[in-house]
Amino acid sequence: MKLVSQILELATLTTAIALATAISFVSGIRKEIDWQTSIFGESGDRDVLKIILYTATLLLILKLETLRVRNQESKFPTRYRRSKFMGGHKALQITLLAILVFLPYLAGKFFGDTTRVQLYKFFAVGALEEEFADLRTTLYAISCPSVNEIGDYIECGNRGNVWLYSTILLKLRILGANSSWTETIGLIFLLITFASLVNLHNKFSTLPRFLLIVLVASPGFQLMLERGNLELIVFSFIALALQVDLKKKFGILTVFLLLSSASLLKFYSVASLTFFILFYLFTSKSLKGKFVLTVACLLILATLIPDSMKSRSYGVVDLSGAFGLPNLLALISAGEDTRVVSLGFSLPIVIIFSLVCFRVTRRALPLLDPSDLDSHLRLVLIAAPLLLTWSTTSNYFYRTGLLMIFILALSEILESKPPDGKNEISFGLVLVFAFSMFLYPRFLAIPLNICLLALNIFGIQVILRFMKALLEQTFNLRALPKNR
């Protein structure tokens, strides 16, 4: 009976991963002319098939969860069964991650750009003839004399873009940064990303490991790889920060440097840096350390906040393939873009959705130990930038690297706690978030944004719970000497 259960579990996992991958295949095959319709636009019958595959995949994964719960009730320790089951497959899974990250790039080097473009089409990604197009445009801008502040048009080798990154990055032109650096930096980006994925994989248990593979195969993540998008490095830096042991020497400094670097690349990561500094101020006894990190953080904020305010004027306004609160409000208002919003109609509906999401997501909070501040901090480091960018602006779907980390961190928490039926809804939400990464047609934007709304509601609760625990622990620590 045990052997049958293991075979059924393995078959279910294999089928689920195959179907999840097939979702991206279906949306990308035979799209020869307008590649955008294979990712963001309407694609007729393929959308119906994608929904069928998506639903079937969720049902199979939920069936897997039922099997997992039953296996945990057997006489063999869960940790022993998992380590035995995963021991023979860990190398295979890491190899699969390496294939997903490097195969298109290497295929382009050995067989030409045409092969690379065709490979990405199978992931529903419309690849450009030039690899790492976003990174290339950024390097063009850095070396372009006409680019000096937010909103400046990139005249040098431009694809119709304006400069939207921190102006401090323009200082790299002193080092002679230009588009000839693209391939070298792009390869470094891929290596850093792969290293962060392997580290996450090593930390995770069974289910999050499989979710990690599925998410890396999603069109959003593959598009970031293909474009050499800076979200790729933001994802990697925050993922690496989550795994640093704060109690070891230079642990605090390492996390600070990683989050500072992420903030300089993308403004919204400042939210993570700010909460990390608060954590350090409330828990550290080193006055010198508090002073140095606080001053450094204030300097970073002073540099980035003005740029961040300017960049909001150049945000995403179209509704196709985008997410965010402005996007959701515009969709409910039946507007043509995010500038056409009827708050009187859309805001009450969003409030109702928020209340429903609150009732559902609060069931996952008891799984978090209030005394485990380090675990809370890791969730907050992801929840804070996700909340900031989703609530204030509209972004394209492929900019979801941070969302992926949150999904995996949340699924790891659910995986590590004994399931008891009360967390089935929470576990189901994790799966919906994960596999919704494969669905991009405009008519699915509202349900996908509602999924993200639920994730943000959960993030708000985690942040509030974290701040409460932080204040309570600080108060208790200060009260102890008086009691003595």
Query: Cα-flanking dihedrals φ and ψ of residue 162, to 5°?
Result: -120, 160
CA 87 to chain centre: 27
pLDDT of 336 higher than 60: yes
Total domains in the chain come to 1
Where in the sequence is the domain holding 50, given as residue range(s)? 2-483
CA contacts within 13 A on the Cβ side of 233: 20
Q: Which residue has the higher pLDDT, 209 or 367?
A: 209
- Structure confidence at residue 35 (pLDDT): 36
For range 466-482, the mean pLDDT: 69
- Structure confidence at residue 273 (pLDDT): 92
Which of 192-201, 277-286, 342-351 reaches the highest mean pLDDT?
Answer: 192-201
- Structure confidence at residue 26 (pLDDT): 52
State which amino acid sits at residue 99: I
Choose the weakest-confidence range: 197-201, 335-339, 349-353, 475-479: 475-479
Task: Round to whole Å and give the CA distance between 80 and 102.
Answer: 33
First-to-last C-alpha distance (Å) of the chain: 59
DSSP character at residue 182: H
Q: Which residues of 96-112 are buried (b: 16+ CB within 10 A; e: fewer)?
A: ebeebbbebbebbeeee
- Structure confidence at residue 31 (pLDDT): 41
- Structure confidence at residue 212 (pLDDT): 85
For range 368-380, the mean pLDDT: 78
- Structure confidence at residue 130 (pLDDT): 81
pLDDT of 82 higher than 50: no
Residue with tokens 């032109």: 173
Choose the weakest-confidence range: 34-38, 56-60, 294-298, 448-452: 34-38
Percent of the chain with pLDDT over 70: 71
Q: What confidence category does residue 85 fall into, taking pLDDT thresholds of 50, 70 and 90?
A: very low
DSSP character at residue 418: P
Query: Cα-flanking dihedrals φ and ψ of residue 323, to 5°?
Result: -140, 165
- Structure confidence at residue 32 (pLDDT): 41
Choose the weakest-confidence range: 14-18, 127-131, 212-216, 435-439: 14-18
Q: Which residue has the higher pLDDT, 308 or 445?
A: 308
- Structure confidence at residue 69 (pLDDT): 52
Residue 396 pairs in a beta bridge with 322
pLDDT per position as a tens digit, 161-200 = 888 888 888 888 888 888 889 999 999 999 999 999 998 8
Q: What is the largest CA-CA distance in the chain?
A: 76
Q: What confidence category does residue 12 fall into, taking pLDDT thresholds of 50, 70 and 90?
A: low
Q: What confidence category does residue 34 fall into, taking pLDDT thresholds of 50, 70 and 90?
A: very low
Record the tokens describing residue 175, joined without a space. Answer: 């080092």
Helix 231-242 vs helix 182-203: angle between axes, to the nearest 10 degrees? 30
Choose the weakest-confidence range: 18-32, 48-62, 106-120, 249-263: 18-32
Residue with tokens 């230079």: 250
- Structure confidence at residue 167 (pLDDT): 87
Residues in the chain: 484
Record the tokens describing residue 139, joined without a space. Answer: 């390097």
DSSP character at residue 254: H
Task: Round to whole Å and give the CA distance between 112 and 120.
Answer: 13
Mean pLDDT of the residues in the chain: 76
Choose the weakest-confidence range: 133-137, 286-290, 391-395, 421-425: 421-425
Q: What confidence category does residue 48 fall into, taking pLDDT thresholds of 50, 70 and 90?
A: low
- Structure confidence at residue 257 (pLDDT): 93
